[in-house]
Structure 1
C-alpha cells in the first residue's frame, strides 16, 4: 500500500476524496483512525489501491447510453479501452469506465471548511463574473468573512449560513444555489422552474456563506496544543478533544444568541454564565466579531427580507414577538410548500439573527432549519439537501 503523511487540515474524508477512495476503504486500511476524533499532523495513513470501475457490455448498449448512465464523456471510454469503438461494442466484454464528470463546481470532497470556501470563490470568480465578492469583516482569529452580491434590482435580499459551527452543511448548500443561479443566468435557463432573469432585474441578492469560519474549522479539524486557544477550548468542552458538536465561535459564544433582540431574557432563559459549546450568549449583545460583521452588513444593505440557514428539522420559523409584518406567515407557507418543510410559529426564543432582523426592520425574516438528523449532517445527504435548500431559496427569490 502507498503511505501518506497527514498534513494540517486533513480529515479522513478529505484524504479519501483526494485519492479517489471510498471512505470505508480508508477506514479498513487504517482501523485505528476511526477510534480518534481527528487525524493528527504527521500521522501515517495507508492508502489502498483505488480500483477502477468496470462494466460488462449489455445487449443494445451504445457509447451514448453507457456514458449517460455513468455520467462521463463518451470520448473517454474509447481512450481507456483501446480497440473499443461506437461500431464495436461486443456484448459480454468487460470494460473500464472513466471517472464521473461533475456538472457542478460546488461539490463536497470531504468536510466543507474555510479553505474549501476560498477555493470555490476563486472558481466562481473565474466562471461567473455576474457574482461580485467582497470581504465584509474578519473572525476572532482573523479569517475573512465573505459576502457575494448578484443582481441589479432596487431591492436587497440577504441569506446567511453557518452561524452555528456544526451546521456547516448550510454553507455548501447555499454556495450550490448561488452557482445554479449564476449558471442559469449564463445559459438562459430556469432555476427550479423560476426565471433568474426576473430575480436579477428585481433584486440584488447578498449572501454570507460562512459566518463562523473559526468555529467551522474547529468542528472539522479539532485543536492541537499549538493552537493559541487550546487549553481554554478543552476546558470549555468539558475536557473533551472531540468538537464535532460545537455550535459556538472560537470564544465559546453562541452567535445565534448574540443579537440585540431581548438579549437579557435569552441570557436568563439559557442560564449559561461562561463560554460553552452552545447557548452561552456572551458578555453583551454583539460582543463577538462575527456577530458585529453580520449585524453591520445587514444595516448597510437594509434588506427587504432575509433568511438565516441552520440545521436541522425541516422547519421554517417566521415570527418574532408579533414584530413581523402580516405577510410573513403566508410567505413562510409558500417556502414550505416549495420544499416540503413545515412552517412554524416559534415561541420562547430571543437574540437570534432572524429575531433582531424582524424587530429592527419590521420586515419578513426567516430561520430555515435544513435536513433531519444530528449535526453535523452526513455528507451523504448533501445532494438531497441542495435540492431542498435550492427549492426554498428559489421560492424566496420569487416572493412578491
Structure 2
C-alpha cells in the first residue's frame, strides 16, 4: 500500500498506526532516508492493500473506524484530508485493508506463468522483499530470486531443479507466503517468531530453477520444439516424467563433483533424465546457480526435490560438523530420515559442499512416484514448514 508523507510524519509513526514492525517499513523503503522524509513523497506500507468504499446515508467516520478496526488517522492519511466531518452519501474514500489471506495459490496449475504472477503479488504486498533476476533459462525465462531478511547468516533454498518435481515450487511458495504474513503480523511460524528469523538470517529463495522443464511437464512441448522433444522423449507424447531442462540435460547432474566418474554410468545423449551434459555447468540454468553460490557466500544451502522423505547431507566426507547437527534437527522437525551418504554425485549440494565445506542438503519431499500428486500437498507442507524454519535459525 502506498501513502504520501505529511508534515511531521515518521516511519516509526506509520509502524504504530498500522501495527507493522518498523524494520519492515524501513526495508520496504530503502530509497528513503528515515530521518528526513519529504512531504509528499511516497512510502510503502507492507501487508496492506487499499479498496474503495462508497459512503452510505448517515454514515460517519466513527462508523468506519469501528467497522474496519482502524485508527481515524489511517483514513485521513490514505485519503490526504483533515476533514471527514461532513461525509456525503455516495462519496468514495479509500480504505486500508490488512492482508489476512494467502496471496499464493499453491494448488493452482503451477507453471512459470503462475509463478510470475505470484512473485509480482508478493513483492507488491510485501515490498521489503528484494527481487532480482539471477539468470535465464534456455528459452529465456527469467530465473528469479527473492531476498528476505537482514541477518548475517545467508541461506539459499531452491526448488524445481527437476521438471517433474514442480510440487517443490508449490511447497516453497506456500512457505514464503506464510513467512511474509507472519513477519507483518508479528506472529510465529512453526513456533518461532518470524521477526527473529528475519533478524538472524537472509533467505535467498530461488523457487523455480528449471522453468522450461516445468512448463514442458505441465503444458506440453512448445510448437517449434514439438518434434525434437518427442524424439528426445523416445517418441513418447507424455512428458509427465521429464526431469531435465528443455535441452534434455539433467540440471542436478551438471556440477563438477565426481563428474567424470558419474558420466561413465549415465546416459550419453540428451533425454528426459540423467544426462549430465557434454561438459559440467554447460546450461544457462546451472551457470546461474553456480555463479550465485560463488558470489553470495551462502552459509547453508537446501535443494528441494521429490521423493523419499529423506535428507541427504554428506558428500565424500567434506561436510563440516555442523551438517550432522542440522541434519538431525531437520529429521526431528520433519519426520524424514537423515542420510549421510548415497551412491550419487554431481548434484548442486554435492558441489556446494565440495567447494565451500559448508552445510548443503538435498531434501526429498513426500513419497511415491514422481510427479507426486498435488493431493499430497498438505501432508508434505506440514512436514516441510518446521524444517524450513529450522534452516533459517
TM, length-normalised to structure 2: 0.73
Match of 1:149, SS state, is strand
Residue 108 of structure 1 is matched in structure 2 by: 106
Instruction: Using the TM superposition, give the Cα deviation of residue 289 of structure 1 relative to its aligned residue in structure 2, in angstroms.
Output: 0.6
Take 1:372 and 1:347, find their aligned partners in 2: how far apart are those partners?
18
Instruction: Using the TM superposition, give the Cα deviation of residue 109 of structure 1 relative to its aligned residue in structure 2, in angstroms.
Output: 4.9
Q: CA contact under 8 A between 1:130 and 1:182: conserved in structure 2?
A: no
Q: CA contact under 8 A between 1:110 and 1:379: conserved in structure 2?
A: no
Residue 392 of structure 1 is matched in structure 2 by: 387
Take 1:388 and 1:104, find their aligned partners in 2: how far apart are those partners?
19
Residue 233 of structure 1 is matched in structure 2 by: 229
Alignment of 1:1-400 (within 5 A): 103-223=101-221, 226-227=223-224, 229-270=225-266, 272-398=267-393
Take 1:328 and 1:304, find their aligned partners in 2: how far apart are those partners?
11
Q: Number of aligned pairs?
A: 295
Gaps of 5+ in 2: 1-98
- Mean alpha-carbon deviation: is it higher for 245-254 or for 129-138? 129-138
TM, length-normalised to structure 1: 0.72
Q: CA contact under 8 A between 1:156 and 1:203: conserved in structure 2?
A: yes
Gaps of 5+ in 1: 1-100
Instruction: Using the TM superposition, give the Cα deviation of residue 148 of structure 1 relative to its aligned residue in structure 2, in angstroms.
Output: 0.3
Take 1:207 and 1:369, find their aligned partners in 2: how far apart are those partners?
17
Residue 77 of structure 1 is matched in structure 2 by: none
Take 1:258 and 1:360, find their aligned partners in 2: how far apart are those partners?
14
Instruction: Using the TM superposition, give the Cα deviation of residue 102 of structure 1 relative to its aligned residue in structure 2, in angstroms.
Output: 8.8
Q: CA contact under 8 A between 2:106 and 2:173: conserved in structure 1?
A: no
User: Per-residue displacement from partner, 1:34-57 (whole Å, max 9, x unpaired)?
Assistant: xxxxxxxxxxxxxxxxxxxxxxxx
Match of 1:211, SS state, is coil
Q: CA contact under 8 A between 1:237 and 1:243: conserved in structure 2?
A: yes
Query: Over aligned residues, Cα RMSD in angstroms?
Result: 1.4
Q: CA contact under 8 A between 2:131 and 2:147: conserved in structure 1?
A: yes
